[in-house]
């Protein structure tokens, strides 16, 4: 590693000496590579914490790119992780890492704020699907980048883009992804769960998806197709046509609670089993299972679900790692506990989903523990 170009920058000398020593140590150490790697990445980070002129940053970028070209993969990965979260790293160095092999590029593509829209679009155009998928998972994406990602029509990238709840898909992207979702239910599922999906797109997809998604579309968008008649598809209508049930109908019996406990003891109690109960219209067994799964009383779960805006259920789900799309299904499939109306109120659902997003899992768990004592 040649540091001669920087030897006249006296205020940087101690940092550069540390970088040189760390790099040398990393090359010599055999049995304690993680410690040497941590020391070297710390030395690099220290350089960027100093106040540097544009010329100094440019020279430093040259030195570090030279280091990267000589470094082993594990060291480049460690440096990429550290540099991805800094906002004063020279663009040239970030672009060098962003175009490295995917395990090294991933943290840069996912987190670095140094990359502009044009940089991201260039990488999309010049790299492959692994890079597209990482970019599609970024916390912030402009409309232009979203449209470019949709336009490449890669199925796996489209799924990642549809699952990214921190962005808002453009109308163009929705149209492209909607076309792709007509023969790809793995894409249709997360796409239909997005709040910005218009009713006309849901209507278009209705005839192409399976029974569970048809139920969701009917409940959420009020879409129906008289030519498609399946037992699962009629579930929401059956709920609406029944007389309002007495509250005890939804309270699990002692036998249901014992059955849930037995499933748990056999390691058979999981979300798949609970959603099977809901898909069969069995709310009381679901409550018993969910109570056993979370150690929250069945009475409390029942009362949460009876609320017009079931914030208590949102907190319980957040506390136990249940994802937003799974909470949405619980909300939809327990709708008859809260209302006699046939269709789910779109605004009510958006309100509780926004509340779900605001509650941090660790806060939710503290609330659950406090209220159980």
Residue 343 has what DSSP assignment? S
Q: Does 372 have pLDDT greater than 80?
A: no
Q: What's the confidence (pLDDT) of residue 31?
A: 45
* CA end-to-end span of the chain: 61
Torsional class of 321: left (φ above 0), alpha (ψ -120 to 50), beta (otherwise) = left
Better-predicted residue by pLDDT, 230 or 94 = 94
Q: How confident is the model at residue 258 (pLDDT cuts 50, 70, 90)?
A: very high
Q: What's the confidence (pLDDT) of residue 246?
A: 38
Q: What's the confidence (pLDDT) of residue 26?
A: 47
Contact 313, 327 (CB under 8 A): yes
Contact 232, 217 (CB under 8 A): no
What backbone phi and psi angles, to 5 degrees, belong to 180? -65, -35
Q: Which of 63-77, 93-107, 238-252, 330-344 has the lowest mean pLDDT?
A: 238-252
Burial class (CB in 10 A: 0-12, 13-18, 19+), 98: buried
Could you tell me the pTM of the whole model? 0.55
Residues 60-86 have a mean pLDDT of 81
Torsional class of 86: left (φ above 0), alpha (ψ -120 to 50), beta (otherwise) = beta
Q: How confident is the model at residue 312 (pLDDT cuts 50, 70, 90)?
A: confident
164 in helix, strand or coil?
coil
Whole-Å CA distances, 171 to 51, 143, 150, 181, 197? 43, 10, 11, 15, 9
How many Cβ atoms sit within 10 Å of the Cβ of residue 80? 25
Percent of the chain whose predicted confidence (pLDDT) is above 70 = 75
Which range has highest mean pLDDT (144-153, 318-327, 335-344)?
144-153
Burial class (CB in 10 A: 0-12, 13-18, 19+), 193: buried
* Closest to 283 (Cα-Cα) out of 348, 350, 338: 338
Q: What's the confidence (pLDDT) of residue 231?
A: 32
As a whole number, the mean pLDDT across the chain is 80
Q: Does 233 have pLDDT greater than 50?
A: no
Q: Which of 160-164, 241-245, 315-319, 337-341 has the lowest mean pLDDT?
A: 241-245
Element (H, E) at 257: helix 254-265
Residues 6+ apart with CB under 8 A from 162: 169, 177, 187, 190, 191, 194
Residues 87-112 have a mean pLDDT of 92
Q: Which residue has the tokens 């159980």?
A: 372
* Closest to 355 (Cα-Cα) out of 335, 372, 331: 331
Q: What is the 3-state secondary structure (H, E, C) of 282-305?
A: CHHHHHHHHHHHHCCCHHHHHHHH
Q: At what angle do helices 91-98 and 102-111 cross, to 10 degrees?
A: 130
Report the alpha-carbon distance of residue 253 to residue 214 in Å, rounded. 31
Question: Tell me: the pLDDT tens digits for 7-62?
Answer: 444 455 555 555 555 455 445 344 445 655 565 666 666 666 666 677 777 777 77
Question: Tell me: the pLDDT tens digits for 108-147?
Answer: 999 999 999 999 999 999 999 999 999 999 998 999 999 9
Question: Tell me: the pLDDT tens digits for 182-223?
Answer: 999 999 999 988 878 888 898 889 888 888 788 777 766 666
Report the alpha-carbon distance of residue 292 to residue 113 in Å, rounded. 43
Percent of the chain whose predicted confidence (pLDDT) is above 90 = 38
Q: Does 370 have pLDDT greater than 80?
A: no
Report the alpha-carbon distance of residue 234 to residue 35 in Å, rounded. 61
Element (H, E) at 276: helix 271-279
């Amino acid at each position: 590693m040649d540091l001669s170009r920087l030897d006249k920058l006296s205020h940087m000398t101690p940092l550069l000496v540390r970088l040189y020593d760390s790099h040398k140590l990393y090359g010599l150490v055999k049995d304690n590579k993680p410690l040497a790697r941590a020391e070297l990445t710390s030395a690099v980070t220290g350089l960027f914490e100093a106040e540097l002129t544009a010329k100094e940053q440019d020279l430093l970028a040259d030195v570090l790119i030279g280091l990267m070209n000589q470094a082993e993969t594990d060291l480049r990965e460690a440096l990429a992780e550290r540099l991805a979260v800094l906002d004063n790293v020279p663009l040239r160095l970030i672009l060098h890492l962003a175009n490295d092999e995917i395990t090294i590029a991933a943290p840069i593509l996912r987190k670095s704020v140094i990359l502009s829209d044009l940089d991201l679009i260039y990488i999309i155009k010049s790299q492959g699907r692994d890079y597209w998928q990482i970019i599609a998972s970024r916390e912030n994406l402009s409309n232009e980048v979203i449209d470019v990602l949709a336009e490449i029509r890669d199925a796996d990238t489209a799924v990642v883009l549809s699952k990214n709840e921190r962005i808002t898909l453009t109308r163009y992207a929705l149209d492209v992804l909607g076309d792709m979702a007509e023969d790809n239910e793995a894409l249709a599922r997360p796409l239909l769960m997005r709040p910005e999906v218009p009713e006309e797109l849901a209507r278009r997809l209705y005839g192409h998806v399976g029974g569970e998604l048809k139920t969701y579309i009917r409940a959420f968008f009020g879409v129906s197709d008289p030519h498609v008649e399946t037992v699962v598809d009629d579930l929401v209508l059956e709920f609406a046509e029944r007389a309002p049930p007495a509250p005890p109908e939804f309270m699990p019996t002692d036998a249901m609670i014992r059955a849930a406990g037995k499933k748990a003891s056999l390691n058979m109690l999981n979300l798949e089993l609970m959603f099977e109960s809901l898909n069969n219209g069995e709310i009381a067994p679901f409550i018993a299972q969910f109570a056993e799964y979370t150690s929250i009383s069945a009475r409390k779960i029942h009362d949460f679900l009876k609320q017009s805006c079931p914030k208590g259920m949102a907190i319980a789900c957040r506390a136990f790692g249940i994802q937003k799309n799974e909470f949405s299904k619980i909300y939809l499939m327990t709708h008859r506990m809260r209302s006699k109306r046939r269709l789910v109120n779109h605004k009510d659902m958006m309100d509780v989903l926004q509340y779900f997003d605001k509650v941090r899992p660790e806060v939710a768990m503290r609330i659950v523990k406090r209220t159980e004592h």
